[in-house]
Amino acid sequence: MLFVIRCLTFARPVVDLRALKNRNFAVGCFLSFVTGIGIFSTIYLTPLFLGYIRGYSAWQTGIAIFSTGVASIAAVPVYVLLARKVDTRWLMMFGLASFGLSMWAFSYITSDWSGEELLVPQVLRGFPQVFAVAPAVNLGLGSLPPERLKYASGLFNMMRNLGGAVGIAVCGAILNAQTNFHFNMIASHLTPANGPMTRLIASAAQRYGAIPGSPEAGQLAAVKTLSNLAYREASTLAYADAFRAIMLAFIIATVLVPLLRIRRQSSLAVGITLTKDDLHGETNRDRTLLVHPVSRHFALRSSPKLPSGPLAQPRPDVR
């Protein structure tokens, strides 16, 4: 509480919470938070699934999820090209919607999935990452005045990391709770009236009973095998639930993108342009001021230092 009060009252706070009054910045922070949930939570869930459910080694897991990194790298030049021609809000909606679509594809995961089945969902997860991250930074921070930008950027960057931490914690809680829930649901159907289960127990008991030991040991081994199978399937269903939760967050984020305003050319950029034009003559300077007259005041107050010497001296008006 003291930290929040200080951030709201101190002139130069470490984290500028007052910047949240800006709609673009507030929405951008939320979108950055959701993006952090998606990026970091899937990095946590996918290797965990491959290691515990599929029994993959570290090398096998790396090969299976390699396609995500390749798709992310391939998307960068595509985004750079499209950002010059297309409204970045549309690009961001595409990125968030594609990420949500990837989570929907992951929600059908089974215990038999390997690198081949994971290929398309991972490409859908890796390719749109730059489309979801870059526009949030441009639209969120670009709407702030320059004097507040350096303080607000810390809060903006923190939101993505905070989203990752919250996402991993929530996904871990979902895995624990839903695994127990699904295991109890599966166990409630494993009764003597279940024909496939009875045949599985009988065949497993016969197979284990052939090993030197007592017949009771074979029966216990068969029941333990059935318990492991039920736990594996319950865990797989819990992973699917976690992916659905992430999908829901991205659906909400996609709907909020139209609330962002297009970032217009900031007065800072125009002010710097004016200073450079000053070095080339008054004609260019006056032409720029006609294009953006509001920036004249800003340019005179906030422009960088001009070089000393003849160029810095006042020049007569030649018009």
Mean pLDDT lowest among 62-66, 181-185, 205-209, 230-234: 205-209
Distance, in Å, from the CA atom of 77 to the CA atom of 114, rounded to the nearest integer, reads 29
Domain with CATH 1.20.1250.20 in the chain: 2-182+240-259
Distance, in Å, from the CA atom of 38 to the CA atom of 35, rounded to the nearest integer, reads 5
Other CB atoms within 10 A of residue 170 CB: 16
Is the pLDDT assigned to residue 143 strictly greater than 50?
yes
What tokens appear for 270 in the block?
């125009």
Give pLDDT tens digits for 52-99: 999 999 999 999 999 999 999 999 999 999 999 888 899 999 999 999
Q: Up-side HSE of residue 267: CA atoms within 13 Å toward CB?
A: 17
Which amino acid type is present at position 210? Answer: A
44 band by pLDDT with thresholds 50, 70 and 90: very high
CA 51 from chain centre, in angstroms, equals: 23
Q: Can you tell me the mean pLDDT for 258-268?
A: 63
Q: What is the pLDDT of residue 257?
A: 92
| Long-range residue pairs from 273-276, CB within 8 A, at least 24 positions apart, any chain | 274/299, 274/303, 275/299, 275/303, 275/304, 275/306
Secondary structure tally for the chain: helices H, strands E: 13, 0
Q: What is the pLDDT of residue 152?
A: 77
What is the enclosing helix (H) or strand (E) of 47?
Answer: helix 23-52
Q: Can you tell me the mean pLDDT for 177-187?
A: 94
3 band by pLDDT with thresholds 50, 70 and 90: low
CATH class, range 2-182+240-259: mainly alpha
Which ranges constitute the DSSP H helices of 65-114?
66-83, 88-106
Q: Which residues contact 101 (CB under 8 A, 6 or more apart)?
A: 124
What tokens appear for 179 in the block?
């695994």
Is the pLDDT assigned to residue 212 strictly greater than 70?
no
Is the pLDDT assigned to residue 311 strictly greater than 70?
no
Distance, in Å, from the CA atom of 304 to the CA atom of 309, rounded to the nearest integer, reads 16
